[in-house]
Amino acid sequence: MEPVPELYVLCDTQKPPVRLQRLSSSSHDALSFSANLTLPVPPQMLVFSVGDWSGLSNDGRVEVQLEVKGLDVVRIGTMTHETRCFLWERASWADYKTGTSGNGEFSVSMVIHGQVAVTANRPNQERKKRKRLKEEEENICPNKGSAKGQITQQKAKSGKDTALTKMASGKGNGTISGFPTGRWGHALCPADSETVILIGGQGSRMQFCKDSMWKLNTEKKAWSPVEALADGSTPEARTGHTAVFDPESHRIYVFGGSKNRKWFNDVHILDTVAWRWRSVEAQGKVPPLSYHSCSLFRGELFVFGGVFPRPHPEPDGCSDSIYIFDPQHEIWYQPIVLGNKPAARSGHSACLLDRELYVFGGWDTPVCYNDLYLLDLGFMEFSAVEVNGSSPTPRCWHSAAPVSKSRFLIHGGYDGNQALNDTYIFNTVTKTWTTLVHDSLPCSPRAGYSMLSLPGVKGDGEEHTPSELLIFGGGDNEGQFYSDTVRLQISEILDD
C-alpha cells in the first residue's frame, strides 16, 4: 500500500473534522476521496491533510472540489507539499448561492495527482528518476563542465550544510541558529522591521526544497517554518523567482521563476498581516522569466532582464526589457525607456538607491558581464556608468545590497568557470569601485545566494539607514549548497 495523507474538512468548530474516504474506483495515478456533508454549506471550511506525503512526487498536488446536487462542480483550492491546508470562504462563492441554505447534502471531493506507488522495484525506479532528473536539469550555471562531477560527489558527502550554531553576541560575523535546508536560487525579503521571509529554492541534486517557506525573526535570531492560508492555489516550488515586500500594503509579491522545464509568469501575493496567499489574474502581457530582477518603486514592481524559454530546439533567450506591474489595477505594462540600455541578460543584480536603479553584471550564454548601468526611475532613462577604479570581474548569480545612501556592496557570484568569494563596494558619488577585504565576510565561494540590508523596512517617520547585512544560502557550483545565515555589521566593514 503506497503512503498517502489523510484528508479532512472542518465545517464547524464545535464538531470534529470529517475525514474523506477513498473511492474504490480510484487508480494509482489519480486517487479520489470524498465526503458527503449536510446542507447548508458553511460560511467557512478548513481543508487540511495529516500524515505521510512521501508517496507524492515533488509536483504532486491535491485538487479540492465542492458540489451541491443539481449544480456544477467547483474547484475551491489546492494543497501541495508546501501548503497542506487552506481556508475556504463562502463569500467568494457567488455561483452557489442556492447551496447556502435548505436541506439535503453537499459533497467535498479531493483528487490526488502525482502519486508515486512504492513497490518492490523501488531501487530501479529511483535510478530512473535520477536519470530523468539529470536530463531535465536546466537551472545550472552557464558553461558548467562535466569534469566537476567527482568534486560534486565528494563535497556533497561532506555535510557542511547540515550543522548550524547560534550566533554569538557582539562584533563580527556569525551564524544564526535555524533549520532551512541548504539551497540556492531562492528569494529573501523583509516582512516587517524584525522579520525576513525565505521562499523557494533548490538544494542537493537539484531537488526543489520541500521546506520552501521560512520566517526569520531578526531580533531573536531564530528561524521558524511559515504556515499560510490560501485563496486558491499557492506558488509552486520554483527557483530564479523574486519576492518583494511593500511596507505600505504589508504584502509580498512573488513573480516568475522556473521549475525544470516549466516557466512561470504568475504573480502571487502574500498578505503578511493575515498570512494568506492570493493568486493574481493580471491583465497585460509579461513573458515567463527566471533569474530576473524586481524592484519596488512608488508602489509598482519594476522587472528587468531574466531568461525565458524558446521553442525546442532553440536555446533559452535573455531579456533586455523593462516590465512594470501595477498592483492597484493588477496590470502589466511596458514603459517607454530612453537612453542606452544594457544588453540582454539574466542573473544580474539590481540595487535601488532613492530613485536610481544600478544594474550590474549578469550573463547571456556564453558571455558574463561586469558592466554597470544606471536606470533613473523618474525619467525612465538608462545610461552606462563610467566607473573609476578596478571593476569587479564578470559574474552572475551574485547579489547587491545598499550599505549607505550612496554606496552598495556586491559579493560572490559565478564567473562562468567557478564560484567567487570576493567583495566590492561602489560609491555612486565618486563612481568608484573599491575592493573590500574583511575577516567578517564569508570566505566560502558562493553563487545563487540572497543578501539583504537590515533593517529592511523603513520605520514610521524614520530614514532607512542600513546597519547590517544578512546573507543566506547559495552554492559553490560543485554540488555544495549552504544553509548558513550570516549577519554583518556594516559599520565594521566600512571605512568611513
**pLDDT of 363 above 80:** yes
* pLDDT tens-place string over residues 162-210: 222 223 223 344 445 457 999 999 999 999 989 999 999 999 888 999 8
**pLDDT of 287 above 90:** yes
* pLDDT tens-place string over residues 113-137: 875 443 333 334 433 433 333 333 4
Return the domain boundaries, the chain: 6-115, 159-493
Would you identify the CATH topology of the domain 6-115?
Jelly Rolls (2.60.120)
The predicted structure's pLDDT at residue 70: 72
* pLDDT tens-place string over residues 218-247: 999 899 998 888 887 789 999 999 999 999
* Biggest CA pair distance of the chain: 79
What is the rounded distance in angstroms from the CA atom of residue 372 to the CA atom of residue 393?
Answer: 12
Whole-structure pTM value: 0.68
In DSSP terms, 410 is beta-bridged to 400, 424
Tell me the pLDDT band of 147, cut-offs 50, 70 and 90: very low
The predicted structure's pLDDT at residue 89: 80
**pLDDT of 313 above 50:** yes
The predicted structure's pLDDT at residue 269: 96
What is the rounded distance in angstroms from the CA atom of residue 74 to the CA atom of residue 180?
Answer: 36
Which amino acid is residue 146, in one-letter code? S
Which residue did the predictor score with more confidence, 409 or 227? 409
The predicted structure's pLDDT at residue 13: 82
- 361, exposed or middle or buried, with CB in 10 Å at 0-12, 13-18, 19+? buried
Q: DSSP letters of 211-250?
A: S-EEEEETTTTEEEE---EEES--PPS-BS-EEEEETTTT
* pLDDT tens-place string over residues 420-470: 999 999 999 999 999 999 888 888 999 999 999 998 776 554 556 889 999
Q: Structurally, what CATH architecture does the domain formed by 159-493 represent?
A: 6 Propeller (2.120)
